[in-house]
Structure 1
């Protein structure tokens, strides 16, 4: 009977110690304010993290537009400004810069492989030769400073109105997933 009493006493002592310890932990936790749950920082997008695609070309009497869609590579989650970092270039013999107007709300978006974003590029056809600007390149810059250069929608040179191009802020489209604004 003696071994049983000793085992019972040891179990009772351990239980008391555990209860006292958890009571102390509860008191300590209750006294200290809880730390806010911080979100893991999402790294900025790089040109190597994303692919971009052209689509939705619209060709009217004088107004033209096309969509530029960004899609993160599989397994990539990265952030970028809702203001597209787009520049348009002219052939080397053209000395005038092409004006680019970019819209944005000032937020940061999270880009994932299941949540593409798109912006629309608007421009007009020139009425006369004096109103014409030639463009042949589009550069998409990423928050980390990397960039990717491609043709301005079509290979070769495109004639646009000298007023330049306008670009909307990045947005999600119907059925294109959900972007997150922070």
Structure 2
């Protein structure tokens, strides 16, 4: 009988320790989720304009405002606008793996927008605006690199996935 009482007491003590340990483990603070970016959280800049005989490209960089950390899909949320008299939509091909990137003031996001120039008037499309949408549904519109209308090949525009880091090509995917 004495052994049974002792074994019961040991088992009860162990179960109390296990319950206390699991309660303490679940009470540890969870890592806060990074909120989605809004247009009010970021500034964006153009740069890296490159041109050849038939190809053009430029970089678009997003930079979080001081003290802001937010998340964004690695697939750029960019649409293009054309003049009202152009009825055909401009095809946009967007690269991305479906990941999520974290944007911080010390780690901007970069994408490259590439297009071709038309080789004949019948192959011409016109672009006069670029719109950047954020995960919360807010958006910001600006010129397509230069003010006014830009002639591009009607095949459309290619946009790379966002990459993050101080220099182009330094990815930091989470």
TM-score, normalised to structure 2's length? Answer: 0.84
How far 1:33 sits from its partner (Å)?
A: 7.8
Q: Note if contact 2:96-2:161 (Cα within 8 Å) is conserved in structure 1.
A: yes
Say which one has the larger Rg: 1
What RMSD, in angstroms, separates the aligned Cα atoms of the two structures? Answer: 2.4
How far 1:93 sits from its partner (Å)?
A: 1.1
1:172–1:129 distance in 2 versus 1, CA, 3 Å: same
1:62–1:152 distance in 2 versus 1, CA, 3 Å: same
1:48–1:175 distance in 2 versus 1, CA, 3 Å: same
What is the CA deviation profile of residues 72-95 of structure 1, one whole-angstrom value per residue up to 9, with x for unaligned ones?
Answer: 001111111000000011011111
1:70–1:174 distance in 2 versus 1, CA, 3 Å: closer
Q: Distance in 2 between matches of 1:146 and 1:92?
A: 23
Number of residue pairs matched by the alignment: 160
Q: Distance in 1 between matches of 2:126 and 2:169?
A: 35
What is the CA deviation profile of residues 110-133 of structure 1, one whole-angstrom value per residue up to 9, with x for unaligned ones?
Answer: 101111010000000000000000
SS in 2 for 1:34: helix
Q: Distance in 2 between matches of 1:43 and 1:153?
A: 29
Say yes or no: does 1:121 pair with 2:134: no
TM-score, normalised to structure 1's length? Answer: 0.80
Where structure 2 has 5 or more consecutive residues not aligned to the other structure, the ranges are 1-14
Q: Distance in 2 between matches of 1:71 and 1:176?
A: 13
Q: 2:21 — aligned with what?
A: 30
Q: 1:155 — aligned with what?
A: 147
Equivalent of residue 164 in structure 2, options 152, 172, 176? 172
1:98–1:168 distance in 2 versus 1, CA, 3 Å: same
What is the CA deviation profile of residues 39-63 of structure 1, one whole-angstrom value per residue up to 9, with x for unaligned ones?
Answer: 2011110011100000000010001
Q: 1:21 — aligned with what?
A: none
Q: 2:9 — aligned with what?
A: none
